[in-house]
Every structure is written in structure tokens, then in C-alpha cells.
Structure 1
Amino acid sequence: MPSKSRLSRPVKAVSAVLLLVAAIGVGTWLHAIDRSAGETWHAVGADEPDRIDVNASVQRVDTVAREVVLRVLIVPRGRLGDEEGLVPAADLKLLNSSNLRGDQIFPARQRISSVDLPIALSSGTVTDYPFDSYRTRIQFAAEENGHPVPVLLTLDKVDSLFALSIIGYDGLSGMGTLDVRFGRSISVLVFATFMMITMWAVAIAVLVGARSLVSRRRGLVWPAFGFMAATLFALAGFRNIAPGSPPIGSLLDYTAFLWAEAVIALSVVVSVVAGALTEHARSVPR
């Protein structure tokens, strides 16, 4: 028997180390996927010597305001600008698909600076969090002194809370058009799923503890009641750190948070009432 005990300790130690390495490996793999998605860019339009490069970067996806904010920098190429593409040779007008802000005008021989453009989201609802997704059309065209010029649109993203995918594109007629879908990033999905599992696990733990107190007639065990009441408020704070700050009434609430709070609150009330009745029964002389 002692030899078996000595053999089991190394096996347990090796198993723990392997589990730790596996957890770190999975985390590193998920981080690599998120990072590669953030470094991905998409291009559409006319690749001609004399053109306007429109470099657009997704800065923020605002699900509550239902808009995506693009930081846009245009670079005139060839005869349309100087050698470095910092100054347009003539007046340029950038036509965009934003219904929240008008077209942008860049005067001739003045240095070009980036602009932030809000683009409205056309579908999706934030209450589907963390499985919500949104679509929009990002479209740019350009004119020089009233005459259309070719556009090459390049799109990437900075917002780490969302993943970007292209569901359609159109580079004809000298314009750059991308139909884009935004969904929660892998890191957000993993963390939100972890939150839902944790909420249910804590609620079940409190329920099991309450059942033990009631079935064994332990009376008023105040440390246990303090733990149960603390989890009731701790889960509310835990829910508020959900990435993206989803509003109350989202899928996260209806599948985990609200149920967990109800289970914990009911467990506390039943435990206290049963404990009080038990203490009263003990105090009554027979």
C-alpha cells in the first residue's frame, strides 16, 4: 500500500503540470487568433497609378448608438497629389456612405489630416449579447474638381471587442464598397461564456449549501448566511465587468445572471426562515 501511495503522488504532480501547460497553450492559441484577426486588412477598388487611397480603420463599434466609427485617411497617388501623398494637387471631395456626416472636402495644396466618420449599422440588436452581430455598408468615392477619380479602399480594425468579416464587395465604377459584418471577438465570447458558467456554478453552490442547512436543521448559521448574501451582490458586480458593457435585458441576463440571482435570493430567504423556525423550536421548553 505505501508503494502505491508513493507512485500516485508523481502521477498527480505530472497531471497537474500537464493541465497547466494545456490551459496556457489554449489561452496562447486563442490570443494568437484574436491578434491575427486584428492585423487582417481588406482592400477593394481600382489599383491604378493615378488614384485616391482611402485607408479606413474601425476605431469603435458602438452597439448602443448603432454606429461604427471609422478613422479615414486619404492619400492621393500619381498626378492627384505630391510625391509623398500628403497634399492634393487639386480640390478633392470624398463621398462616403455615412448618413450621419456629410462628404469631406480637402482643399488643394493643403496637408491632409485624418477624419473620424460614423457609419450607421443596418442590422443586429445589442440584447443578443454575447452572440450579437451587425452589418453595414462602407462605401467611398472621390472627385477632383467635380470629376470622378479611382478609389482604392483599405479597411482594418482597432476595436478588440469585435471581429470583422467581409460578406460582399464591389470595386467597379471607380468606387470602393465593402459589406461588412461585425461580431463579438473570440476573447469576448470566451469570457462571456465563462461568466455564464460561473454564475450558474455559484448559484448551484449556494443552493446546495442552503439545502444542507435546511435538511440538517442547523439553525441560524450566520457565517453561511453572510456568504450567501455576499454572492448575491458579488454577482451583480461580476456581471457589470462583462466586456462591451451590455445593457440589462441581454441574452447573458436571461440565460444566467437573472436566474442565478433568483436562486441565490430564494436560497437565502428559505435558509433564514427555516433557521429561525429551528431556533424557535429549540427555545420552546418541552
Structure 2
Amino acid sequence: MTTEAPPVPPTPDSRGRRIAIAFGVIVAVIVIYVLSLIAVHLLAKSAPPLPAVDFSKIEADDSVVSVHIEKLDTVANRLTVNVLVYPKDSLYDKNFGVLTTDAAVRLYPENDLGDLQYPVGKAPAQVSTTIEARGDPGNWPFDSYKTDVLAADVFTGSGPSKEKTFARVEITGKLDGWDASATRVHDPEDANPDSLDNVVITLHRSKGPLIFDLGIILVLVALPALALWVAIPMALGRTSFVPPFITWYGAMVFAIVPLRNILPGSPPPGSWIDQAVVLWVLIALVTAMALFVYAWWRNRDRKSPKKT
């Protein structure tokens, strides 16, 4: 009768080596984490908000329409804005801060509310509406959106005394996660060639969300790589079969969709990120799970049927 030899206890050298490796891994993770924070802080600077209306550069006879950007619906290509009119001084009572006549603003191209009304005897208030900002949301996260040339007319008075005047459009505000820019454009109907009263709004995604998107994509790619790295040796019989790994595979498969849905900007279903990353990650994970099931099938316990 032979007896198995007792396990050899680890030597002090091997134990110290394991402790050094574990300590090195912890230090490496901390260093990578700190460097990533520094990199994100340095690179994720977004553009400053568009400045407020500078009334020192506006003459008393000029009417100004302020367009404050609020929200962008990428799928619908609609930009929500708050519109506020600053009529020329002769139509505004500075003592009480109210309009001395009815006023209406007409934006070009047309907005969803048509003419925006500002009644006489009241202080002008912001009116919320939406305008078109064209772009392709399927190009997420490299999509950008641009409006047509925004122009405005201010109608004052009522009836036969109603007047129409050109207005200077000013863009203000900031969108979270977006870099907004306003380009001044000359109105071809204006005889003054130096007049730049119209404007075009352009929106690009900020660097901060792009860096976060890259991190999520790297996580998505790493999950199937780790799964295949474990499943292939098991399927080839080069390592021991570990049954509890099946729960790990199932958790990874069901984690893909939540990870995809937390991407900043909520890319629409079917965009390139789904075709180039998410779909292939799911295929790789299912392949890894199939290899794991094959390894289980080959190493399963085979029991003879009981004779009755």
C-alpha cells in the first residue's frame, strides 16, 4: 500500500516572491488610476460657455434677439432654445422695464412656435422653442450638429402701424457635454457689407465624454478577451475544468447591454458602436461560453444507468 507524500510547504523565498508580486500589482493599479485621473483632468476641458449679450457694442436703434441654447435632441435633430427680445430703446420703458408696444420675433428658418409674442406693458420674458440642428446621430461619439443661418425680424405695434425691423441675433449659454460655437454671417439683404447680424450654431461633443466613451469601449473589449483566455485552455484540456466559472460567463453576457446604455449621449440603437463593438463582444462572449460548455461536456461525470 502506497501513501501520498504530504504537500511541501512553501519556502520563505517563494512566499516573499508572491507578496512582492501582489504588492507590485496593487501599486501598478494605483499608479494607473492616478495617471488616468490626471489625464482626464487635463484633456477633458470643454469649451467655455458662449458669452452673454454685450450691450456696450449695440446702438440704441438696434434690436437684438438673444437665443440661449438649452438642450439638444440628437435623434430628432432638434435644438431647444430660449428666445428673448431686446427692442430698440424707443420701444422700451427703462423706468419700469416693460415694453411700450406689442412685439413679436420671427426666426429664420422657422421654429416650432412660429412668431414669438411679447405683449405690451410687460417685461420681455424668455420663450422656449426648438429649431433644427442637422447631424447624423449614427456617427456617435464623433457626431456634430449645425443649424442653418439664423436670422430674426422684430415686429412692433399692431394694425396699420405695425413695423418690421431687422434684428441682430446673439447666441448665449452652454450645453452639458457639448462644445458650442457661433459663427457670424453677413445678411445678404443688408446693404452694409460689414454687418454680421446672422449666426450659425455648431455643436461638437466635449472631450470629457469622449474619454469616458473610450474607457467603456475598452472595458467592453476586455470582457470577451478575458472570457476566451479562460475558456480556450479549458476546451483544449490544458487546464482544470472549474464549474463555477459558468456564473461568471453569464454575468458578463448580461452586463454588456447596461454598459452600452450608460455611454454618454445615449447613441441610438444600430449605430456604428453596436455594429463594430457591442455585437462582436456579444458574439465573442457567447463563443467563450460555448467553449466552456464543451469543456464541461468532455469532463462531465459519466454514470452508468442503474439496473432495475
Instruction: Report the TM range for the smaller structure's normalisation.
Output: 0.7 to 0.9
1:41 maps to which residue?
51
Measured after TM superposition, the shift of residue 71 of structure 1 is 1.1
2:173 maps to which residue?
157
8 Å Cα contact 2:64-2:169 kept in structure 1:
yes
Q: Indicate the SS of the match to 1:244.
A: coil
1:2-48 deviation line (CA, Å, top 9, x unaligned):
9xx9xxxxx999988775554333222234x22xx242338799821
Q: Which moved more, 1:256-265 or 1:44-53?
A: 44-53
Matching of residues 163-174 of structure 1 within 5 Å: 163-167=179-183, 169-170=185-186, 173=190
Measured after TM superposition, the shift of residue 88 of structure 1 is 1.6
Measured after TM superposition, the shift of residue 69 of structure 1 is 0.4
Measured after TM superposition, the shift of residue 210 of structure 1 is 0.9
Change (3 A) 1:13 1:235: closer
Measured after TM superposition, the shift of residue 53 of structure 1 is 2.8
Matching of residues 1-286 of structure 1 within 5 Å: 22-31=35-44, 33-34=45-46, 37-41=47-51, 47-83=58-94, 86-97=97-108, 98-121=110-133, 123-137=134-148, 138-145=150-157, 146-167=162-183, 169-170=185-186, 173=190, 176-216=197-237, 221-279=242-300
1:77-100 deviation line (CA, Å, top 9, x unaligned):
422212278422222121112342
**Separation of aligned partners in 1, 2:298 and 2:67:** 67
Change (3 A) 1:15 1:194: closer
**Separation of aligned partners in 2, 1:14 and 1:220:** 31
1:163-206 deviation line (CA, Å, top 9, x unaligned):
21335523673884212222222222112122212111111111
Change (3 A) 1:201 1:254: same
Q: Indicate the SS of the match to 2:39.
A: helix
Amino acid at match of 2:118: F
TM-score by length of 1: 0.82
Change (3 A) 1:198 1:19: closer
**Separation of aligned partners in 2, 1:49 and 1:12:** 68
Change (3 A) 1:133 1:78: same
8 Å Cα contact 1:43-1:152 kept in structure 2:
no
Q: Indicate the SS of the match to 2:59.
A: coil
Change (3 A) 1:212 1:12: closer
Measured after TM superposition, the shift of residue 162 of structure 1 is 2.1
1:99-155 deviation line (CA, Å, top 9, x unaligned):
42201122222222111111012x322111111112112322212233233523221
**Separation of aligned partners in 1, 2:52 and 2:64:** 13
8 Å Cα contact 2:177-2:206 kept in structure 1:
yes
Structure 1 residues without counterparts, runs of 5 or longer = 6-10
Cα RMSD after superposing both structures: 3.5
Change (3 A) 1:85 1:60: farther
Q: Indicate the SS of the match to 1:109.
A: coil
Q: Indicate the SS of the match to 1:102.
A: coil
Q: Indicate the SS of the match to 1:41.
A: coil
Change (3 A) 1:113 1:40: closer
TM-score by length of 2: 0.76
**Separation of aligned partners in 1, 2:54 and 2:154:** 14
Q: Indicate the SS of the match to 1:40.
A: coil
8 Å Cα contact 1:67-1:120 kept in structure 2:
yes
Between the aligned residues of both structures, percent identity stands at 23
Amino acid at match of 1:106: Y
Change (3 A) 1:167 1:74: closer
Structure 2 residues without counterparts, runs of 5 or longer = 1-12, 18-23
Q: Indicate the SS of the match to 1:55.
A: strand
1:8 maps to which residue?
none
